[in-house]
Structure 1
Amino acid sequence: MADDAQHEHTFESADAGASTTYPMQCSALRKNGFVVIKNRPCKIVEMSTSKTGKHGHAKVHLVAIDIFTNKKLEDLSPSTHNMDVPNVSRREFQLLDVTDDGFLSLMSDGGDTKDDVKLPDGEVGEKISKLFIEDGKDTNVIVLAAMGEECAIDAKEAPRG
């Protein structure tokens, strides 16, 4: 009986069966799709398949860009093998504030607030700062999430409703 209680508890603490990745056969991957290379969620920018060699497997050469760090990663895999594909979500939040330590204070459509996304460096960070801080506009921030990581990837002026 004690074992049953233990198992029930495990199910309840799981996140509704949502996995951070799912398998896909290498030959089914497509350019501009996502793939996991070296445990990093990436967007495929280039793909080429070599002919079947004397040992019988066509190989797929993938070149991909890490969606969070923009680093280029490459992988070579037999076309019949499975590769992990990250579950990537893209959500839009209303920007409420930028904290002194460089975090974005965001609000979802449902009214939930979120304070754990950092103001990104570079172009996106400058765009957010210009729209929100300099121009004082209502700003929406697009947040990309995959494999337990999140980052702001774009910002735009919020439509007046």
Structure 2
Amino acid sequence: MADEHHDDEHFASAESGAAATFPKQCSALRKNEHVMIKGRPCKIVEMSTSKTGKHGHAKVHLVALDIFTNKKLEDICPSTHNMDVPVVKRREFILMSIEDGFCSLMDPETCDLKDDLKMPEGELGTQIKEALDKDEGSVLVS
């Protein structure tokens, strides 16, 4: 009987209220800043601005790297248009151990433990494991 009403249950979802991005004019963007390109958070590695043409505004050409995949992305936009800038907060943690494919991390400021980060695959995962196995002090991850 309880299963009959299971499909009728609806749960509201809530957000923190904090925006994941904020707008910034293209001409105000700088190298080494972050920007959203094709829905991905990226770090700007190259930028150039073309002169104003007879049919419009100056254009800004951006070359950036996806901060998660390191994939190169490019975009061109008028200098007066806004682009979304992701809120990026970089934090460092001390790697305590690796268990069952997950990293056990400690926040050096609060001593809180975090154990829900999956161990990266490939070369990065190998480098992290080797650094931990060397046992030469702390291994910081960010």
TM-score (ref. length: structure 1) = 0.72
C-alpha root-mean-square deviation of aligned residues, in Å? 1.9
TM-score (ref. length: structure 2) = 0.81
Asked if the contact 2:47/2:60 (under 8 Å) is kept, the reply is yes
Q: Structure 2 vs 1, CA of residues 130 and 103 (structure 1 numbering), >3 Å: closer, same or farther?
A: same
Q: Does 1:106 align with 2:120?
A: no
Give, in whole Å, the separation in 2 of the partners of 1:62 and 1:116. Answer: 34
Q: Which structure 2 residues correspond to residues 53-64 of structure 1 after superposition, within 5 A?
A: 53-64=53-64
Moved more, 49-58 or 121-130: 121-130
Q: Which structure 1 residue ranges, 5 or more long, are not aligned?
A: 1-9, 144-161
Q: Which residue number in structure 2 is paired with residue 137 of structure 1?
A: 136
Give, in whole Å, the separation in 2 of the partners of 1:123 and 1:27. Answer: 37
Q: Which residue number in structure 1 is paired with residue 128 of structure 2?
A: 128
Aligned length: 129
Give, in whole Å, the separation in 2 of the partners of 1:88 and 1:25. Answer: 18
Identical counterparts, % of pairs = 63
Give, in whole Å, the separation in 2 of the partners of 1:84 and 1:142. Answer: 27
Cα deviation code 1:5-50 (max 9, x no counterpart): xxxxx9xx542x4221111100000011111001100011111111
Moved more, 102-111 or 41-50: 102-111
Q: Which residue number in structure 2 is paired with residue 83 of structure 1?
A: 83
Moved more, 64-73 or 102-111: 102-111
Give, in whole Å, the separation in 2 of the partners of 1:104 and 1:128. Answer: 10
